[in-house]
Amino acid sequence: MALFDPKKYRIPNSSEVDLKATKLNFETFMIQYGAVREKVGKNRMPKMTQSFNPIPSTPHREYDGDAERFLIEREEYMPEYEELHRLFGKGYLSIANPLKHGGTERRRQIFMLRYVYSIGVREISERTYLGKTAIVEESQAGLIQFCKSIGLLILKNETEPLVELDG
């Protein structure tokens, strides 16, 4: 028996993934995550440090100086916020590129810029001095890793085409 089963952790190739359906799942998650963040008094999108590491969330300590009414109004949304924030953190931390020096940070940065902050490939290219092809490949890999870790990934063999192709 092997000590480590790589099949369990394998990230599928982008050609195996139904990217359209996976992006739809991701978009649905991000819409709800953004909405619940606003309900608890946070910015819609998570803030990042200059090195694109998430700023730690402290949902209970931040209310210490606020009025009691504010706390009571927002308290009903805290369980949902904590659950979605935990999922976001799990997905973000699953984005990795260990084979290149600095690759994990770069992949996370590109993922955040493209899919969380909705910045276009051309603008990301200008900011990061990377080619458009590299940005598309890195962001896709990051999206696949994020979605796989929180159960949003849909493989092509899991979906049925709406129209049969003659061939």
* Short-list 106, 113, 115, 155, CA closest to 134: 106
Given CA atoms 27, 93, 90, 87 in this order, what sign does their dihedral have? negative
- Average of pLDDT values for 145-167? 82
Q: Beta partners for 17?
A: 155
Res. 68: pLDDT tops 70: no
Find which of 71-80, 118-127, 154-163 is predicted with most confidence, using mean pLDDT. 118-127
Can you tell me the distance from the alpha carbon of 138 to that of 121, in angstroms, rounded to the nearest whole number?
11
- Give the C-alpha separation, 146 to 153, whole Å: 9
Select the more confidently predicted residue: 146 or 2: 146
d(CA 106, CA 51): 9
* Residue 165 CB coordination number (10 Å): 5
Q: Is the pLDDT of residue 143 over 90?
A: yes
The radius of gyration of the chain's CA atoms, rounded to the nearest angstrom, is 18
Contacts 24+ apart (CB under 8 A), 57-64: 57/85, 59/85
Q: What tens digit of pLDDT does each residue of 13-36 get?
A: 999 999 999 999 999 999 999 999
In this predicted structure, the answer to whether residue 42 has a pLDDT above a threshold of 50 is: yes
Q: pTM for the whole thing?
A: 0.80
Q: Rounded to the nearest 5 degrees, what angle is found at the Cα of 59, between the Cα atoms of 81 and 41?
A: 70
Whether the predicted pLDDT of 75 surpasses 90 = no
Higher pLDDT, 100 or 80: 80
Task: State yes or no: pLDDT of 114 exceeds 90.
Answer: yes
- Mean residue pLDDT of the chain comes to 84
Q: What is the pLDDT of residue 63?
A: 47
In the chain the first and final C-alpha atoms are separated, in Å, by 44
Mean pLDDT over residues 36-47, rounded? 85
